[in-house]
Amino acid sequence: MNNITVNFAKTLGPVKPMHSVNNGPAGGGVRGGNTSRDLLRAAGIPFSRNHDASFSNEHLVDVHRIFKNFDADENDPNSYRFESTDAYVKATIDAGMQVFYRLGASIEHGQKYGTFPPKDNAKWARICEHIIMHYNEGWADGFEYGIKYWEIWNEPDCRNRDGSNPCWQGTDEQFVELFVTALGYLKKRFPDLKIGGPAFCGPWDDRYNNLLLGAVKEAGIPLDFFSYHGYRKDPNNFGEDIVHARELLDKWGFTETETILNEWNYIRGWFADEWTYSLKMEKSLKGSSFIAGTMCVCQAGPLDHLMYYDARVCGMNGMFTAAFEPLKGYYPFPMFNELYKMGTSVEHTSDSDNLLAVAATDGKNGGMMLTYFDDNDDAPAREVKVDFTGFGAGKKRVQYYLLDETHDATLMREEIFTADEFSAYLTMPLFTTYGIKVTVE
């Protein structure tokens, strides 16, 4: 039997936004079908990063899609096409999410349009300024949404097997020049906004990391957040990524810079059969356990924000069917949100790296999410004992919500305890996730 201990009297800090996403909502349209809006709202998802939104509509979000002629006057509202992005931003906000706006271009695997270095970095920065003005200051018949996070570019370090780059057609040095120019200009213009990036493929290329961070440091510009991506086959792998990114920033003196992992999902391998297997698993119960486990690992590490890729209905979406009905991968989001609303994380220990948990309290009541993930699809079921303490004497109602092949975060049983210390016994087949709610009555 495996053992997990949770002490609700030992608080660790805030429950962080580990259940943000990329993209959404979508659906409805001219045919009036289902949408993912209400499901996203019900899940309490904090932020939606709008990278790759243009895959759904060729006029969306990307700088070159809004400002289509780089030789036009960036001060003239007629040079911009905001209509499609206006509707997309409004739909995101209507779904209860804040917008995390990616300035730059979507990934381009084929013909390249928007991933070339700008002809004039300073002008590109001014174009971005006017996009921010449109959504935050009402410029060009715009809005006052107060969008807080603005990310410069996406994966300038990306490489295909043949060495080509689908996200940046210039040199590393050219990208650093663009990044520093845009960061410095936008941060001076909007000192109260969070401006950063560059959404690296991962945190491990220290040559590129040092090139970029060294240039930002030399320029004396604040870096509000450092963003990067990760695709793994075990949630525990993210733990090393998180620590490395934090240590990297601290080394350069960016001790107040947030770290944001804003693309992640299950990937066993990027090619051939492993790629096909990965896409299938992302939409399965295994994918849901991976999602829950990643939230647990990242909450425990020095990471500030986590954003799943992708809530847009596509190959890598494990949340919704093409008809915008929930898949198994949807349910960890509202399950984690219950802990997020409680506000304060608490101490827990587990004697197995495959049993991943997160627990929280609101000062009176408590809750936890627990999942059993192993990339070995033949791993046997586990018998698990969860020891609870920290509530004091009195009546506690414990409710168990199960996510497995036949249950969708369904309430399965309730128990009443009166002692300060009490235990729950669970049988957990592989990829099972439990949400446990403790109500002090």
Residue 95 CB contacts under 8 Å (≥ 6 apart), including other chains: 24, 25, 36, 37, 38, 40, 41, 45, 48
- Helix (H) or strand (E) segment spanning residue 423: strand 422-428
User: What single-letter amino acid sits at 16?
Assistant: K
Sort residue 246 into left (φ over 0), alpha (ψ -120 to 50) or beta.
alpha
CATH code reported for the domain at 16-342: 3.20.20.80
| CATH match of 344-440 with 3.40.50.2000 | no
What pTM, to 2 d.p., does this model score?
0.97
H-state helical runs in 67-171 = 83-94, 121-136
**Tokens read off for 112:** 């390249």
- For 47, phi then psi, to 5°, come to -135, 150
- Where the chain has pLDDT below 50, the residues are none
Can you tell me the distance from the alpha carbon of 219 to that of 99, in angstroms, rounded to the nearest whole number?
28
Q: Report pLDDT for 30.
A: 61
**pLDDT confidence of residue 56:** 86
Asked whether 153 and 114 are in contact (CB, 8 A), the reply is: no
Where b means 16+ CB within 10 Å and e means fewer, 379-400 reads eeebebebebbbbeeeebebeb
**Peptide bond between residue 156 and the one before it cis (omega within 30 degrees of 0):** no
Domains of the chain, residue spans:
16-342, 344-440
List the helix and strand counts (H, then E) for the chain: 10, 17
List the one residue out of 176, 154, 174 whose CA is nearest residue 166: 154
Distances (CA, A) of 163 to 149, 160, 217: 31, 5, 29
In angstroms, rounded to a whole number, what is the distance separating the alpha carbons of residues 113 and 389?
A: 58
Q: What is the b/e burial string over 150-159, where b = at least 16 CB atoms within 10 angstroms of the residue's CB?
A: bbbbbbbbbe
3-class state of residue 398 by DSSP:
strand
Backbone angles phi, psi at 337, to 5 degrees: -60, -30
